[in-house]
Amino acid sequence: MKMKVLDYQMLVMLNESSIRAGRKQNLRPEQMPVDTQKQYIVNFRFDHAWVGGRDIRLSIILKPGVQTAWLDVSPQEFAAIPEIELSELDWEAAVCVGTPRWTE
């Protein structure tokens, strides 16, 4: 099963882009992971309206089984996120971690 995965550098880049664009959901400095060598799985996503167009809201696993966060990105940015093949067990673990608490 394939899932989108961010390395630390891409997570930082997408987060900064989200903040610059004025998107609603992005990571605060204290939410940014400390492990710069890890990959961060996108375990959920949905389209939503934003500034007369559409955007994509991602749920990113920051700490497996412990912490996820929302991040809004453009459709083009989402398309550029690479996918990796996961085993069924790894896929289930990523999907079952849950999605972040909805914050307004």
pLDDT (tens digit per residue) in 47-71 = 988 888 899 999 999 988 788 899 9
Is 101 part of any domain? no
Is 103 part of any domain? no
Is 20 part of any domain? yes
Whether 6 and 40 have beta carbons less than 8 Å apart is answered as yes
Per-residue pLDDT of the chain (104 residues; tens, 9 = 90+): 899 999 999 999 999 999 999 999 999 999 999 889 999 999 999 998 888 889 999 999 998 878 889 999 999 999 999 998 988 777 777 776 555 555 44
Is 11 part of any domain? yes
Is 104 part of any domain? no
Is 55 part of any domain? yes
User: Per the structure, how many domains does the chain have?
Assistant: 1
The residue behind tokens 């085993």 is: 87
pLDDT at 74: 96
pLDDT at 104: 41
Cα dihedral 84, 1, 13, 21, rounded to 10, equals 150
Enclosing domain of residue 39? 2-96
**Whole-structure pTM value:** 0.85
Strand, helix or coil for residue 32: coil
